């Protein structure tokens, strides 16, 4: 609910079909930004942000935290989901209820009414940080979509096809933008170009991307 609720904004303009199964809901997360950023801080205090290592031994520029019954971890043998945080030796913090509610509503809005996340990955990008082209394929249930929420500084998102070598489309993802990836887009290659320097009034000099997943 905000001051602009009465303006005749065509909601179709805020909804973009990026590809079959992939829906961009521009600004859809803005109404919940303060609450979700507070919940992210609470998670980070329990499971501190870390630079993950790739299985190949490289250090990622972004920093990540995780919550939910399963958290995505990297090991020399590859990536997997694990119930215990290898650094704190504690279970991951639960996904805060306002974040679960958000992901369920966003998925339903995008046409996935049965989605309930059990895992959440929080990525923090400082200026210059990027994420190389990759697929997300470590979740057991690939029928479930991934729901992503971007907060803070904007970034250029690269969206490719089912092969790494394919053509990529570019989308600007800004504060409050939500993308839901399911169906034929679930295994699409994607990445993020280096984030430009800047300041966001709520998030400061960083970009936060939250992805909600169903692993089990
Ligand atoms: C398309 N995160 O955490 S969100 C990731 O901005 C990740 O931090 C990026 O890629 C980020 O794995 C992009 C958009 C996204 C997330 C998951 C996807 C796009 C996706 C899964 C399948 C297809
Ligand atoms: Fe990804």
* Predicted confidence (pLDDT) per residue in 70-99, tens digit: 999 998 889 999 999 999 999 999 999 999
Lowest mean pLDDT among 39-43, 74-78, 104-108, 193-197: 74-78
Give residue 172's pLDDT: 97
Per domain, the residue ranges of the chain are 16-167+177-207
> Which tens digits make up the pLDDT trace of 156-196?
999 999 999 999 999 999 999 999 999 999 999 999 999 99
Q: How far is CA 42 from the centre of its chain?
A: 17
Give residue 7's pLDDT: 65
For residue 1, pLDDT beyond 80:
no
Check: CB of residue 143 under 8 Å from CB of residue 30: no
Give residue 20's pLDDT: 94
DSSP-derived 3-state class of residue 30: helix
For residue 105, pLDDT beyond 70:
yes
Residues in the chain: 216
Give residue 55's pLDDT: 87
Give residue 5's pLDDT: 62
Out of 2.60.120.590, 2.40.110.10, 3.90.1150.10, 3.40.630.30, the CATH code matching 16-167+177-207 is 2.60.120.590
Query: According to DSSP H, which parts of 112-196 are helical?
Result: none
117 contacts: CB under 8 Å, gap ≥ 6? 68, 95, 100, 103, 104, 147, 212, 213, 214
- Pocket-forming residues, ligand 1, beta carbon under 6 Å: 121, 123, 131, 136, 146, 148, 157, 179, 181, 185-186, 188, 190, 192, 209, 211
Joined together, the tokens standing for residue 71 give 């958290």
Residue nearest to ligand 1 atom 12, measured at CA:
136
Give residue 9's pLDDT: 60
Instruction: Compute the distance from residue 136 Cα to the ligand 2 centre, in Å.
Output: 5
Report how far residue 88's alpha carbon sits from residue 108's, in angstroms, rounded to the nearest whole number.
34
Joined together, the tokens standing for residue 105 give 């509503």
């Amino acid at each position: 609910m905000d001051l602009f609720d009465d303006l005749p904004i065509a909601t179709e303009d805020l909804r973009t079909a990026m590809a079959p199964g992939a829906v961009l809901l521009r600004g859809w997360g803005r109404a919940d930004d303060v609450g979700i950023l507070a919940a992210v801080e609470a998670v980070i205090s329990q499971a501190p942000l870390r630079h993950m290592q790739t299985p190949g031994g490289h250090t990622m520029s972004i920093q990540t935290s995780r919550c939910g019954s399963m958290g995505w971890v990297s090991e020399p043998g590859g990536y997997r989901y694990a119930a215990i945080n290898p650094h704190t030796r504690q279970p991951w913090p639960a996904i805060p209820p306002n974040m679960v509610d958000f992901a369920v509503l966003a998925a339903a809005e995008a046409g996935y009414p049965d989605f309930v996340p059990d895992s959440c990955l929080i990525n923090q990008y400082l200026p210059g940080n990027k994420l190389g082209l990759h697929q997300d394929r470590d979740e057991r249930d690939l029928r479930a979509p991934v729901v992503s929420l971007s907060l803070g500084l904007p970034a250029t998102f690269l969206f490719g096809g089912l092969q790494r070598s394919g053509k990529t489309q570019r989308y600007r993802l800004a504060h409050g933008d939500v993308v839901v990836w399911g169906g034929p887009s679930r295994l699409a290659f994607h990445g993020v170009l280096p984030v430009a320097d800047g300041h966001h009034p709520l998030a400061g000099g960083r970009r936060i991307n939250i992805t909600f997943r169903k692993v089990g």
